[in-house]
Amino acid sequence: MYQDYFGLNSKPFGIVPDTRFLFLSDSHKEAIAHLVYALNEKNGFVQLTGEVGVGKTMACRYILANIPQDIDVALILNPRIDEISLLRTLCQELDIPFDNAQKTNELTQVLNTKLLDAHANGRHTILIIDEAQNLPKRTLEQLRLLTNLETDTQKLLRIILIGQPELGELLSAHDMRQVAQRITSRYHLTTLGAEETEQYIRHRISVAGCHQALFSKAATRKIHKLTEGTPRLINLLCDHALIGAYSLNSREVTPSIVKKAAKEALPNTQYESIHPRSKLVPALLVLLFVLALFVALRPDIQQTLSQYWQPAPGNVHSPAEKPASPTETPKPAVMEELASDTAGASSGTMKPEPEPEPAPEPAPEPAPVFPEAASMPNLSPEKLEAMKKEADVDFRLGIPAGGEG
């Protein structure tokens, strides 16, 4: 798609291990040196480990492409097999005829005969197992038994185990100690540094036929930061970055193009490094949850916080709601009331007295029995008493007051 635009004769950043593009970093040189050692060594196992995508398979294919003529190689790429399947696969790889009805001990004897014939003819046999971390323990034990096929001076079968770091964990188990003790060489392949990443990108572009700098230095630093120097991820990101530059009609890949390409090319775990704040929100939510749980389990904290977060109407704390000073001693209720009255007097404002309840209205007095008394204020007491008696007599006789007899 972009090859003609940038003057490339092949795709420089494929994910298939192509030995034409092999970049020998310091770590890759050491890894290949250990594999070459395994070709010449006549004893035991060799172990090569490394994270996903660092170039273990590339190093293995480089060795296979440069294998000496006197070495027969058996390569197993899918090691999740049992013991009998391991022996059958090994016979197939070495062109040894066998019968599917043959059992483990019979296949082992067939292999032993073939290996002895190869040794007599000056040939050596090497078994390479990729993704060896997937080997079942029983199959690993069968491999150990195969290394017992030997002469007085050397092993008839040399084994190279290539896998992820989990392979080392598998072999460190107590029940695998017999296998671990037969490993004569171990090496762990690491990722590329910042300068090696820039050299790696230039190397692959040069092998593809372009001798111009298609990536700015800032872009290569961004690529290293996002991929952490893993060659497979570098290939994915660079390929998408070249597509982005081509679509923008740009002759150079810039950091902004790399950042946009990373959203499409890299796994989410790698792309999170572009947006570190994406991890901050969940962390804050967890912190708030823990804080709320802590407060909920501490009633004393709830009481302290309620004094500050529940003010009285008017945003003014009443004396009862105002938090006490650490130096103050609590006062009895009567003392607080006296102190409040004293404070009110000193400030010129007395505490208002409660209004008395209204007195009940008096019952209406009965009308006078003789209304004439209201118009005669100068009557003597004797005369008034005589009039009362007279009126009483008239009332009992049914004569209206003031009427004629």
Per-residue pLDDT, averaged over 349-365, amounts to: 55
* Residue 134 CA from chain centroid, whole number: 27
Answer for the pair 162, 48: CB distance below 8 angstroms, yes or no. Answer: yes
Domain 3-13+194-266 has CATH 3.40.190.100: no
Range from 38-52, 230-244, 337-351, 369-383 carrying the lowest mean pLDDT: 337-351
Reported as a pLDDT band with limits 50, 70 and 90, residue 346 is very low
> Which pLDDT belongs to residue 361?
59
pTM (two decimals): 0.65
Reported as a pLDDT band with limits 50, 70 and 90, residue 345 is very low
What share of the chain in percent tops pLDDT 90? 51
DSSP output for 259-325: HHHHHHHS-HHHHTTT-GGGGHHHHHHHHHHHHHHHHHT-HHHHHHHHHHHSPPTTT---TTTSPPP
Answer for the pair 55, 229: CB distance below 8 angstroms, yes or no. Answer: no
Pairwise CA distance, residues 336 & 260, whole Å: 70
> Which pLDDT belongs to residue 113?
92
Answer for the pair 189, 48: CB distance below 8 angstroms, yes or no. Answer: yes
Range from 122-131, 183-192, 275-284 carrying the lowest mean pLDDT: 275-284
Reported as a pLDDT band with limits 50, 70 and 90, residue 311 is low
> Which pLDDT belongs to residue 266?
86
Pairwise CA distance, residues 236 & 93, whole Å: 33
**Pairing state of beta strands 157-163 and 124-129?**
parallel
pLDDT digits (tens, 9 = 90+) for 75-109: 999 899 999 999 999 999 999 998 888 899 999 99
152: left (phi over 0), alpha (psi -120 to 50) or beta: alpha
**51-65, 331-345, 357-371: which has the highest mean pLDDT?**
51-65
Domain boundaries, given as residue ranges, for the chain: 3-13+194-266, 26-189, 379-405
Element (H, E) at 210: none
Indicate the average pLDDT of the chain: 80
> Which pLDDT belongs to residue 56?
94
> Which pLDDT belongs to residue 338?
45
Per-residue pLDDT, averaged over 157-168, amounts to: 94
**CA angle centred on 206, ends 202 and 209, rounded to 5°:** 145
- Residue 180: both structure tokens together: 């671990």
**Residue of 97, 156, 147 whose CA lies nearest to 124:** 156
Instruction: Look at the block and give the residue holding tokens 């590329």.
Output: 192
Higher pLDDT, 360 or 278: 360
Reported as a pLDDT band with limits 50, 70 and 90, residue 334 is very low
Pick the CATH number of 26-189 from 3.40.50.300, 3.40.50.2300, 3.90.1150.10, 3.20.20.140: 3.40.50.300
Number of helices and strands in the chain (H, E):
17, 5
Per-residue pLDDT, averaged over 223-234, amounts to: 95
Pairwise CA distance, residues 239 & 186, whole Å: 33
**Residue of 32, 34, 82 whose CA lies nearest to 57:** 32
C-alpha pair distances (Å), 197 with each of 58, 183, 221, 245, 272:
17, 32, 8, 19, 20
Pairwise CA distance, residues 388 & 401, whole Å: 11
Using DSSP, state whether 146 is helix, strand or coil.
helix
Pairwise CA distance, residues 157 & 141, whole Å: 15
Reported as a pLDDT band with limits 50, 70 and 90, residue 384 is low
Element (H, E) at 75: strand 71-76
